[in-house]
Amino acid sequence: MDVLATYESVAQRLADLTAVEEALGILHWDQEIVMPAGAADARGKQIATLSVVAHERLTHADLGAGLQALTGNDALDETQKANVREALREHLRAVRIAPALVRAWGEWTTRGHQVWVQARQDSHFQAFAPVLAHLVELAKQRAAAVDPLKPAYDVLLDEFEPGMTMARLDPIFTELKAFLIPFVAQIRAKGQPSNTDWRSTPVAEADQRQFGESIVRAMGYSFECGRLDTSVHPFCGGAGPTDVRITTRYNENAFVGSLMGMIHETGHALYEQGRDLAYADQPVSRPRSMGIHESQSLLWEKQVGQARPFWQHHFPALQNAYPFLADLSLDEFVFGLNRVDFTNLIRVDADELTYPLHVILRYELERDLFNGALQVADLPAAWNAKIEQYLGIVPPDDRLGVLQDVHWSSGAFGYFPSYTLGALYAAQFYRKAVGEIPSIPVDLAAGNAKTLRDWLGVKIHHIGSRFETDQLCLRATGEVLNPKHFIDYARNKYAALYSL
Amino acid sequence: MDVLATYESVAQRLADLTAVEEALGILHWDQEIVMPAGAADARGKQIATLSVVAHERLTHADLGAGLQALTGNDALDETQKANVREALREHLRAVRIAPALVRAWGEWTTRGHQVWVQARQDSHFQAFAPVLAHLVELAKQRAAAVDPLKPAYDVLLDEFEPGMTMARLDPIFTELKAFLIPFVAQIRAKGQPSNTDWRSTPVAEADQRQFGESIVRAMGYSFECGRLDTSVHPFCGGAGPTDVRITTRYNENAFVGSLMGMIHETGHALYEQGRDLAYADQPVSRPRSMGIHESQSLLWEKQVGQARPFWQHHFPALQNAYPFLADLSLDEFVFGLNRVDFTNLIRVDADELTYPLHVILRYELERDLFNGALQVADLPAAWNAKIEQYLGIVPPDDRLGVLQDVHWSSGAFGYFPSYTLGALYAAQFYRKAVGEIPSIPVDLAAGNAKTLRDWLGVKIHHIGSRFETDQLCLRATGEVLNPKHFIDYARNKYAALYSL
């Protein structure tokens, strides 16, 4: 077969794989949003079966042979080459993990989740410890299967953040800690300058939904290629760039959280909806990594949605919709959106400044678990020591400490850093966007999100996985990931908010 | 491998196939009910890909070998034997149709549907005729591939109604026609005895939904294993017996149609929800045939939902919900539900007496198309001649005549008879149920549907496909299908309604 015929054959296999994965996306969405409760067991079997089908397609020997034959072939254009590179990475990762290990992983992550739910409810870490230890062991086996020459934790990081390593993360997180720990302490010493009790004024769910939807629309989300529903855990899912479904939850006594959640998920959704439709069924159009995905949600949530320009336009409409805000000033409102909460122990509820410290803590514990410096049984003590050191607070029990996150119970080791990488990329991207298009803040203040969205579309969304992450960042901003943009942004923003 | 190990292996393959088919059920439901419009193309690819996966699983050589090895093996129990029989029939039908013919069928039915939509809109049959002629030709090829020794149309009938043949249908439909044509003419001559203008009184959608849902619940439908939504075309779909989803449409000026539609779909749903859960992922638990499925919807819609006992209980609540019915008597209401419409040209809008004549007309035309007695080009003339002979009316154009139904455009030849077989089975089942449990009408009049539902559960729903259709009917009613039960029922009911 000639090169282009081989490429066509490979692309057809990848399109079929994409279709199966998209069908899985619908099954998951359906399960969370509309499925009747009695269907849970049957749904588990449907998802397991389609997962096997997807795995068969991804690991098919003909796909592997085609991808190997195409690798480095200059008859392909740049997009095709990138597509082959991305597909081959996924193919090799999948074929290198033996079926028995895939099965064991499936069984133990399911068991791990069940045991964790109970252990968290009982606030009893040692009940979870043996399963967690086994999951760490299985994750090491998976990593060794994928690449026996690399440290296990680097292989795990690579799954969520291709190319990321401990050697790169350690200095980045060290620099971030060196700034954040004293900075948060300084803010704590200063105290809250302004009352934010309005944040807990009750707002009916229907009102939250109506205003939130207006914001989602104003950001440019397409309801023609998506929908907005309510779920216990907000997420952005669906089936490819023409079917991007976001969800939110409404807490009647905490409207800010729901609103920011909608902006966050819309940020993810704009990335998905902005993918290159000409390659919608190929790996090359997919979002680059978890960290880049999170950069899009956090850019909209933090850089835009918690900043003054955006609310210059939208705050009057919010005051109109929520009359109890009538006497609040725009500055008081923006302060309230960003208020640092020194007492919060829970990552998912953390503000912009303390969130990275929650993540770095988890990263350091994971890294040490996998390099042998830390044992599973010692996790609670290590956790509590670190959080006291970073935030000056200690959890009263494991439920509010080491047992709070779902990730480890489902074997998602190496995932946490993506959240903070996202925050760092978000600051770097937004600064560059404004540098290139200085009107962006003015446009946002006039209710026009298009200039920013278009810049992200061209630099990030439409690019998909054409370039490796460093290259993507370099082309978008002129340099690779640099934490100083986030640090500058945070220092300036919070110094102003807290009059430091 | 020993017999039971072979059976287990076969059952696992069939369970996987079921899971893929159930996933397809969710994709279809999602497409009709919640999918954003922009996702249509991607959804087409997802459905096509999973259909290929299902076809691969069904036609797998190892499945065929296992089923052949198990056939007639007395180490299996009766349920296992029936499961093997059902699976082998489906497997053989699938393997006998060559991939090229499967592909051509997919392409031409898609094209046929598109051409038909336009031709119907233009009321221009000859624009559709060439595609229809090709679909008939392809259907003949499919039939010849499945069983070259049988008449093509018998093979097509068998797909929807296993075991059914023209040799059996002809005398049944002849007997039915001999009763219905003069009986409908007699009613037409008599005229309408009672005003039924209340049927077109507007009822808000929300009110229709609320009352309809109360009826669906009263029939015993489980919302724990299902849900009720709104769609353009009502259907019963979902993913297996624990996820049975029904839909309805609301016409604010025709509440009776919406209400009866909900009862009809609930009849289908009770069949699905009543399947044997121990075999939920195996063919043996599936509804026996299209005709038996329709018997369940029509039994609840016509025998129960358009009869006096059911409304003795529910009519006061309906009058309470819809105050414009306050002065209507129960008998006037029941008459209005059953009113024969002599002027209606459209099958889907037809009443209980004229509906079978619409079906018999289509059956005769299909049969003659496939045996060569009729050419596609002559269909409109043949249609118009028959409908004038059967109902005394003539369509003003093809849109209201030969182009009205979607079936032929998607190649569903041999499907129409199932509707009327369902009506015949419904009458036979209901008469037997009441014969065995004389309290059923009294129970219904007291708002208790359980005695009837339990009888159907034991005799039909839980049986699934354990027995061939004749055997199922014989065990349930003491005889095979006998149209005289429907004829007796219809004669008595309508003689009373129209004082003949």
Q: Which residues contact B137 (CB under 8 A, 6 or more apart)?
A: none
CB of A3 less than 8 A from some CB of B: no
Q: Choose among B138, B163, B165, B161: nearest CA to B151.
A: B165
Which of B34, B46, B225 minimises the CB distance to A36? B225
Which secondary structure element, helix H or strand E, spans residue A402, and what is its range?
Answer: none
At A370 the pLDDT is 97
Is the CB of A26 less than 8 angstroms away from the CB of B15?
no
Question: CA B44, CA A22: separation in Å to the nearest integer?
Answer: 12
Q: Give dist(CA B146, CA B96) in Å, integer.
A: 5
Are B106 and B155 contacting, i.e. CB atoms less than 8 angstroms apart?
Answer: no
* pLDDT number for residue B229: 96
Identify from A21, A27, A41, A46 which residue to disrupt to test chain B contact, counting B C-beta atoms within 10 A and taking the largest count. A46
Q: Which residues of B touch A46 (CB under 8 A)?
A: 19-20, 22-23, 26, 239
Nearest chain A CA: its distance from B283 CA (Å): 15
H or E stretch including A456?
helix A450-456
The answer to whether A277 faces chain B, any CB pair under 8 Å, is no
Nearest to B49 among A16, A35, A49 (CB): A16
Burial (CB count within 10 angstroms: exposed 0-12, middle 13-18, buried 19+), residue A174: exposed
Q: Which ipTM score applies to this complex?
A: 0.93
Token representation of residue A136: 């760490």
Residues of B in contact with A226 (CB under 8 A): 36, 38
Q: Residue A50: closest CA among chain B residues belongs to which residue?
A: B20
Is the separation of the CB atoms in A275 and A238 below 8 Å? no
Q: In what order do the strands lie in the sheet with B244-248?
A: B226-230, B244-248, B236-238
Chain B residues near residue A12 by CB distance under 8 angstroms: none
Which pLDDT score, from 0 to 100, does residue A407 have? 94
The two three-digit tokens of residue B330, written as one number:
């129960």
What the block records as the tokens of B37 is 């419009």
pLDDT score for A342: 86
| Closest to B297 measured CA to CA, from B222, B234, B359 | B234
Q: Which of B30, B42, B242 faces A42 most closely, judged by CB atoms? A: B242
Question: Tokens for A219?
Answer: 């950001």
User: Do residues B224 and B2 make contact, with C-beta atoms less than 8 angstroms apart?
Assistant: no
CB contact under 8 A, A227 and B15: no
Residue B227 touches partner A, C-beta closer than 8 Å: yes
Each residue's pLDDT tens digit, B55-99:
999 999 999 999 999 999 999 999 999 999 999 999 999 999 998
- Which residues in chain A are closer than 8 Å to B281, comparing Cβ atoms? 45
Distance CA B462, CA B460 (A): 6
Instruction: Please give the radius of gyration of chain A, using alpha carbons only, rounded to the nearest integer.
Output: 23
DSSP-derived letter for residue B376 is G
**Does the distance separating the beta carbons of B243 and A38 come in below 8 Å?**
yes
Rounded Cα gap, residues A294 and A306, in angstroms: 16
Smallest Cβ distance to A20: which of B30, B39, B49? B49
The answer to whether the Cβ–Cβ distance between A26 and B46 falls below 8 Å is: yes
pLDDT at A462: 98
Q: Is the C-alpha dihedral spanning B359, B361, B364, B366 positive or negative? A: negative
Cα distance between residue B298 and residue A387, in whole Å: 66
CA within 13 Å, CB half, B397: 7
Cβ distance A23 to B49 less than 8 Å, yes or no, reads yes
Query: Are B219 and B303 in contact, with CB atoms under 8 Å apart?
Result: no
Candidates A265, A294, A352, A366; catalytic one: A265
Residue A34 Cα, gap to closest chain B Cα (Å): 8
Mean pLDDT by 10 residues, chain A (500 residues): 92 97 96 94 93 95 97 95 97 93 89 93 96 97 96 96 96 98 95 92 96 97 97 93 96 95 97 98 97 98 97 98 96 96 92 97 98 96 97 94 94 97 98 98 98 98 97 98 98 95
- H or E element that contains B228: strand B226-230
Whether A15 contacts chain B with CB within 8 A: yes
Measured at the alpha carbon of residue B187, what is the angle toward residues B186 and B192, in degrees to the nearest 5? 145
Check CB contact under 8 Å for B36 and A226: yes
| Cα-based angle B271, B272, B276 (whole degrees, multiple of 5) | 95
Chain A residues whose CB is inside 8 A of the B280 CB are 42
Active site residue B272: no
Q: Which residues pair with A230 in a beta bridge?
A: A248
CA distance A360 to A378: 18
> Is A12 touching B (CB cutoff 8 A)?
no
Cα separation, B349 vs B359, in Å, equals 13
Question: Is A445 in contact with A309 (CB distance < 8 Å)?
Answer: yes
Query: Model confidence over B406-452: pLDDT tens digits?
Result: 999 999 999 999 999 999 999 999 999 999 999 999 999 999 999 99
A242 → closest Cβ in B39, B53, B223: B39
Residue B196 touches chain A, beta carbons under 8 Å:
no
CA atoms of B173 and A175, how far apart (whole Å): 85
Question: Are A38 and B280 an interchain contact pair (Cβ–Cβ within 8 Å)?
Answer: no
Q: What is the pLDDT of residue B487?
A: 98
For the record, the structure tokens of A237 come out as 């899912």
CA distances for A87 relative to A63, A158, A281, A472, A479, angstroms? 9, 15, 12, 18, 26
Taking only residues 286 to 315 of chain A, the set having a beta carbon closer than 8 angstroms to any beta carbon of chain B reads none
Phi, psi of B244 (to 5 degrees): -105, 105
- Run of H or E including A247: strand A244-248
Given a contact cutoff of 8 angstroms between Cβ atoms, the answer to whether A121 and A104 are in contact is no
Sign of the alpha-carbon dihedral angle for A407, A410, A412, A418: negative
Terminus-to-terminus CA distance in chain A, angstroms?
68
Low-confidence ranges of chain B (pLDDT < 70): 1
Q: A483: which 2 tokens?
A: 């934490």
User: Which residue from B32, B226, B56, B281 is spatially nearest to A44, judged by alpha carbons?
Assistant: B281
Cβ-contact A271, A308 below 8 angstroms = no
B359 C-beta neighbours (distance < 10 Å), count: 23
Determine, for residues B30 and A30 on separate chains, whether the beta-carbon distance falls below 8 Å.
yes
Question: Burial level of A317, CB count in 10 A (0-12/13-18/19+)?
Answer: middle
* Nearest-neighbour CA in chain B from A164: distance (Å): 33
The neighbouring-strand residues paired with B236 are: B246
Give residues with Cβ within 8 angstroms of B139, minimum separation 6. Answer: B152, B156, B370, B411, B413
Exposure string for B387-406, b = 16+ CB within 10 A, e = fewer: beebbeeebeebbbbbbbbe
| Contact present, B481 and B427 (Cβ < 8 Å) | no
Q: What is the pTM of this model?
A: 0.94
Pairing of strands B236-238, B244-248: antiparallel
**SS percent in chain A: helix, strand, coil, step 5:** 70, 5, 25
pLDDT given at position B110: 87
DSSP state of A226: E
User: Which residues numbered 241-270 in A keep a CB inside 8 Å of some CB on B?
Assistant: 242-243, 245
Query: How many helices (H) and strands (E) in chain B?
Result: 20, 3
N residues, chain A: 500
Tokens describing residue A18: 């994409």
**B285 token code pair:** 């638990």
Are A313 and A444 spatial neighbours (Cβ–Cβ below 8 Å)?
yes
| Binary contact (A53, B20; C-beta < 8 A) | yes
Helix (H) or strand (E) holding A411: none
Half-sphere exposure of A201 (CA within 13 A, CB side): 14
Distance CA A277, CA B37 (A): 16
Cβ <8 Å between A39 and B227: no
